[in-house]
Structure 1
Amino acid sequence: MTQPVTLSTAGSIAVIEINNPPVNALSQAVRQGLLDAVVQADADAAVTAIVILGAGRSFPAGADIKEFGQPMQDPHLPDVIDRIESCSKPVVAALHGTALGGGFEIALGSHYRIAVPSARVGLPEIHLGLIPGAGGTQRLPRLCGAAMALDIMFKGTPISAQDALAAGLIDRLAEGDLRQAALIYAAELQTPRRSREATSGLADKAAFEAALTDAEETARSRMRGQMAPLKIVQCLRACITQPFADGRLFERDCFFECLASEQSKGMIHAFFAQRASAKVPEASRAEPRPLNRLGVVGGGTMGAGITVAALNSGLPVTMIERDHDSLARGRANVEQVYDRLIAKGRMSEAQKSDIMARYQGSTQFADLSEADMVIEAVFERLDVKRAVFEQLDKVLKPDAVLASNTSYIDIDEISSVTNRRKHVLGLHFFSPANIMKLLEIVVPQSAADDVVATGFALAKILGKIPVRAGNSPGFIGNRILGKYGDCAAHMMEDGATPYEIDAAIVEFGYPMGLHAMYDLAGLDIGWDNRKAAQGKRNPVERYVEIADRICERGWFGQKTGRGFYLYPDGARIGAPDPEILALIEAERAKKSITARRFTAEEIMARYLAAMVNEACEVLREGVALKPSDIDVTFVHGYGFPRYRGGPMKFADSYGLARMLDDIRRYGQHDPIFWQASPLLVELVASGQTFNDLNKG
């Protein structure tokens, strides 16, 4: 078996190579091997300097995720890095690929750093609800100051080797072969240079403190409710107020506090859930079809967003619209995305021209004859979508994949007008499609395995997070949204204002409340769906007409200046509307409902119970393959706070028996709406959790 760490010499230079594919994760065996090699090289009188590098495609890219949730084993990474830094001979970290998390902390603990120009470095621990725990919060600001250190740790995204060089985090860019360049550099060095002794980043105490104050405000507002950002600020304050050794110990205490928190457990769950969502049975049975050219039918908000996402990924796109005026508007919708980036200095005119060179517009369906996949993104009406599919069926090549971007409509009903039903699937993009990461890949009964695999391949090309969904009205996300949306409507009619409901949702950790989200999306969309479903509605089920009354006034949300909220002068953040409260009171009076008070806790208990109960039905019917797919859907598509892991992870921590008791209690007053899912009942009876289903 290959050793995960090897020690060799090149003349008087010791070379320590980490070889733990695919990303040289810092497993216990790697940590032990690295420590042993450093001790041996430091004790060797013939060695004048040490080079640490990674085999394969990267310097260590962080912790070994297989060890997450397991007891930590010696040697601990901070101790290994301390030993590296205390070496009596110069130590050079040679970086390529991505040096992230503990890998970057090893580099910071080394005396010197050299990197290939394509290398990227960073501390992404915040995405797991953690902080750097191996000296990163103490060494990084000593080198680059508080502002940049906070930016790196708060964003958690890697920075380029060039930016790291400019900030003093890397000493030299390697020309040509990294190993050879590192050996040459090491041969030049005479003495160690320890980051823990650096003072350049601490020199301006006033600037350091100002950066901490700003970061604390950011943590309490834009990162509201999260533990890790505030812990990072506290660690950086320790960096400037305490000796290095004390600050490192404080950092370690904070790290373990975060690691033991429900927030970190939730974010680690979300991390693994996202990785698991792309693993679907169809993709294991078939290879995806080629994807070299894309077609998009429709140039409105969704069609333009999908087009931008595809163009950004390097795919050529042909957009189809019904006439030249509509096509011109479609192109303008695409170009304005890039024009905004140019206005912000984030793109040049030349870059826009290069991207738009991949764009082609047409009013003729025949111009899609060479497309490998065509995505229909027209108005959300069955008859309109079927008419488009009829036209596409006549012109597409036999193996082309035909997809519908729809939020609710049955894919089988759309595809029934074609002769290629096995080539059809649904692709539910979220708006704005060029920004939102979630992509529900809707699998109708007749879809071929390689068609489904192609949908997942497209998601990877576009940088989307895919979730497989069965062909049920609303699929996973919108079906569940419909249920907890009804729950919110019931509470509103019973006495809670939409503003109280939204405040409770935001306090729970969502970026915005439900009714603010309705206003942003457009109330007319839900109204159209409700009218279309009117004949199918169970007459004994409770139906709240408040949203219908609002829409009848032409108040559709932000685009009309008012909805549930007021948006004066084009405001993006709404203000409560007294007329809405009066309208709600009038609707209550019609039904002789006496308003009662709802606490924020009760609002969220009902809201989440409705969400999870319907999610159980989605699982029971096979619309979602596993509970973690529902978590991914809601974290990335509906704003569920990532640090809570998703609704199913939250339900496990809340207690399934407790949630079932809640549902049964609510059912005493409304037994039709609050019918406990048989799956939830079964799980409670057997003592299982949703996480058990994920494992199964």
Structure 2
Amino acid sequence: MTDAIGYERVGDIAVLKAQNPPVNALGLDVRQGLVDGIERAESEGAKAVLIYGDGRTYFAGADIREFGKPPQGPFLPDVCTRIESSPLLVISALHGTALGGGLEIALGSHYRIAVPSARIGLPEVLIGVMPGAGGTQRLPRLIGIDASVDVITSGRQVGAKEALSLGILDRVEEGEPREIGLAYAQELLDQGAPRRAISEMPAPESVDFDALYDSVLKKGRGLLAPAVAIRGIQACCELPFDEGMKRERELFMELMSTDQRQGMIHAFFSERAVSKLPELKGVEPRALNSLGVIGGGTMGAGIATAALLAGLPVVMLEMTAEAAEAAKGRIAGNLQGALKRGKISQEKFDHLTGEALTLATDYDALSDVDLVIEAVFEEMGVKKEVFGKLDAVCKKGAILASNTSYLDVNEIAASTSRPEDVIGLHFFSPAHVMKLLEIVVADKTALDVVATGFELGKRLKKISVRAGVCDGFIGNRILATYRKAADHMVLDGASPYQIDKALTDFGFAMGPFAVADLAGLDIGWAVRKRKRAEGMDPRERDSSYMDKICEAGNFGQKTGKGYYVYEAGKRGGTPNPEVAELIEAERAEKGITPKEFTDEEIVTRYMAAMVNEAAKVVGEGIARRPLDVDMTLLFGYGFPRYRGGPLKWADMQGLDTLLANIKSYAEEDDYFWQPAPLLEQLVAEGRTFDDLNKENS
């Protein structure tokens, strides 16, 4: 046997202990050890086998160190089948997580017991594949089609209590997995309990799997893996078990070769790599025991909510007592959602809205906080005034952070006597929900301040991305560019609604014009006015048709009208007819003859603009690595996860093709379509963005 699986005998029970820290991943040694252990138990006359995990978990899933390497036998489906076919009673005792292949091992066992804190699931769809070791063949036999479709296509983790009610687990008990497992195994032996192989159970009656496939594909906005998993469940219902296993493996291997799987794997690893910065190795963050938030609007209240839920007491500063109470109401409303979903108890809710939250109208209340975040009006003069006051009252070593989404953090820092303590912490609204946090590092920001920013992100469960200082940092700078590309297409003949549809069909959560309505059209209007006041290059194409919508007080969803018209009680909006009239008028004024755009042309131009600007952002060092851009767009801008991010998508499309497209667009507008030097360099050298990720990992 291998060292990864320990073997002992307790009476008639052979005990197989997984000992492959940290998560007992199902690597080659573990798989071989399980097969050897079952064979040894059989040869030595044991009557039952207990499988459990040492340390913090049962088998948490596949060994990610084997990703991308040639597979070696015994393969996991064969291991599960070998366990199940044993004439001995096989019992799995679960704790921690039993995910993916881990749950498939448990399903290969004849009985399953777990501690109350255990969580199980088949999350393969989250990396672009599907269960490939019997998950789609055994689970429906055990719990039926509906529950299996939910567990498999969502990839969600299921708690022990729910797993017991579904029938995945046979028993849930407090205690150590070895002890409860041994007791259960002995009880089953004493009862003369039969072997209970799921493969020998009857399959559920077939349903309309074509309709189910279409429904899951639509819900996933083009994500293939959950829909293809439906075909695996179909095979369970329509084929003998052995043939169903073969069909499952065929479907699994088909998904393994897709671009979507590449994109999802890239996202999986990048999500874990993005907050690991070489310059922070060994740098201790500053103490972080209390937080101040200035401004209790939607953003400030969201930041305060996130901090409270992470266990940080918050001082909320507003201009008046009335405004502070209104801010408390917003925070309480946010926390009410967590209460309703069972994330917090009523007692916890009362504590967070009472003791943990302090309302204030005087800056002196911030004198003892460790970190303060301003979330006030997006205007440089206002920000500087706030930071001047913070500089005067905050204790030495306190971190002063701005939630600005565009403005120069160096200029803000210069308004204090301690620029080394100033950092940008750009949250995305609603801040207690959205996962992205851009950590904007100014020229003089101290390294331990940067480390503290990442520590805060970790405690708030955010995906934290390091950004340099420029107009819009990573995300909003790139957004401004691809949004301009969309605006140009509108002037040239496409409609905002065709563009939105083409991009949601591509996989975006929302199109750019629907997003603008959601964010508030007044934001874009303010940016346009600022840019014009600063002086625009005469070669830059500008459009003003939406200014007229804004001038009439229509700012999108919050006012009921923007690009779309929103009616109370109705989901989504309908196209606003006024917009088409204003576009036509501006085209006539500018002498533009509209042309037809196909959906494919819309996506190609939009993505070319996004990738080109992203390459400039990486080339200038605003983003350290291409994966930083990818994670920013995935978690803050609704980019489809299964495409990996814009720069991973670009690699898969071919950088030479993208560059050729950009150069062809430059023939009609060489100001907007200036190829990024980094993109030209990578094409010339035959390299990819992913090569840069590897160099900087």
TM-score band, normalised by shorter chain: over 0.9
Distance 1:194 1:666 in 2: 62
Deviation at 1:343, TM superposition (A): 5.9
User: 8 Å contact 1:28–1:75 — kept in the other structure?
Assistant: yes
Moved more, 182-191 or 275-284: 182-191
1:546 is aligned to 2:545 = yes
Which residue in 1 is equivalent to 2:270? Answer: 273
* Unaligned ranges ≥5, structure 1: none
Q: 1:331 to 1:676 in 2, by over 3 A?
A: same
1:4 is aligned to 2:4 = yes
Which residue in 2 is equivalent to 1:334? Answer: 331
Question: What SS is found at the alignment partner of 2:633?
Answer: helix
Moved more, 553-562 or 664-673: 553-562
What are the Cα deviations for residues 149-182 of structure 1, in whole angstroms up to 9, with x where unaligned? 2221222121111211222211222332221221
What are the Cα deviations for residues 43-66 of structure 1, in whole angstroms up to 9, with x where unaligned? 222x12111111111111111112
RMSD, aligned CA: 1.8
Which residue in 1 is equivalent to 2:615? Answer: 616
Distance 1:424 1:214 in 2: 55
Q: TM-score, normalised by structure 1?
A: 0.96
Q: 1:96 to 1:72 in 2, by over 3 A?
A: same
Distance 1:439 1:311 in 2: 17
Which residue in 1 is equivalent to 2:479? Answer: 481
Distance 2:664 2:211 in 1: 46
What are the Cα deviations for residues 628-652 of structure 1, in whole angstroms up to 9, with x where unaligned? 1111111111111111111001101
1:16 is aligned to 2:19 = no
Distance 2:439 2:81 in 1: 48
Deviation at 1:532, TM superposition (A): 1.7
Which residue in 1 is equivalent to 2:65? Answer: 66
Which residue in 1 is equivalent to 2:452? Answer: 454
Which residue in 2 is equivalent to 1:495? Answer: 493
Deviation at 1:241, TM superposition (A): 2.1
Deviation at 1:341, TM superposition (A): 5.1
Distance 1:461 1:346 in 2: 16
Q: Which amino acid aligns with 2:201?
A: A
Distance 1:27 1:472 in 2: 45
1:244 is aligned to 2:241 = yes
Distance 2:387 2:81 in 1: 64
Question: What SS is found at the alignment partner of 1:579?
Answer: helix
Moved more, 547-556 or 446-455: 547-556
Deviation at 1:381, TM superposition (A): 1.2
1:194 is aligned to 2:197 = yes
Q: Which amino acid aligns with 1:144?
A: I
Which residue in 2 is equivalent to 1:309? Answer: 306
Deviation at 1:299, TM superposition (A): 0.6
Percentage identity across paired residues of the two chains:
51
Distance 2:177 2:340 in 1: 38
Which residue in 1 is equivalent to 2:674? Answer: 675
User: 8 Å contact 1:561–1:570 — kept in the other structure?
Assistant: no
Moved more, 27-36 or 479-488: 27-36
Distance 1:627 1:39 in 2: 48
Moved more, 136-145 or 447-456: 136-145
What are the Cα deviations for residues 510-538 of structure 1, in whole angstroms up to 9, with x where unaligned? 12110000011001001112212221422
Moved more, 356-365 or 118-127: 356-365
Q: 1:59 to 1:345 in 2, by over 3 A?
A: closer
Deviation at 1:146, TM superposition (A): 1.9
1:224 is aligned to 2:255 = no
Q: 1:343 to 1:38 in 2, by over 3 A?
A: closer
Q: Which amino acid aligns with 1:286?
A: V
Query: How many residues are treated as equivalent by the alignment?
Result: 689
Which residue in 2 is equivalent to 1:527? Answer: 525
Distance 1:300 1:464 in 2: 20
* Structure 1 residues 32-431: aligned runs within 5 Å: 32-45=32-45, 47-190=46-189, 191-199=194-202, 202=204, 205=205, 209=207, 215-216=212-213, 218-340=215-337, 349-357=346-354, 358-431=356-429
Distance 1:58 1:139 in 2: 22
Distance 2:92 2:582 in 1: 67
Q: Which amino acid aligns with 2:218?
A: S
Distance 2:21 2:364 in 1: 48
Deviation at 1:546, TM superposition (A): 2.5
User: 8 Å contact 1:556–1:563 — kept in the other structure?
Assistant: yes
What are the Cα deviations for residues 486-511 of structure 1, in whole angstroms up to 9, with x where unaligned? 11111110111111111111111112
Distance 1:536 1:415 in 2: 25
User: 8 Å contact 2:2–2:33 — kept in the other structure?
Assistant: no
Given candidates 469, 472, 475, the residue that maps to 2:470 is 472
User: 8 Å contact 2:546–2:579 — kept in the other structure?
Assistant: no
Deviation at 1:83, TM superposition (A): 0.2
User: 8 Å contact 1:274–1:632 — kept in the other structure?
Assistant: yes
User: 8 Å contact 1:174–1:182 — kept in the other structure?
Assistant: no
User: 8 Å contact 2:217–2:224 — kept in the other structure?
Assistant: no
Which residue in 1 is equivalent to 2:28? Answer: 28
Deviation at 1:693, TM superposition (A): 0.7
Distance 2:2 2:196 in 1: 33
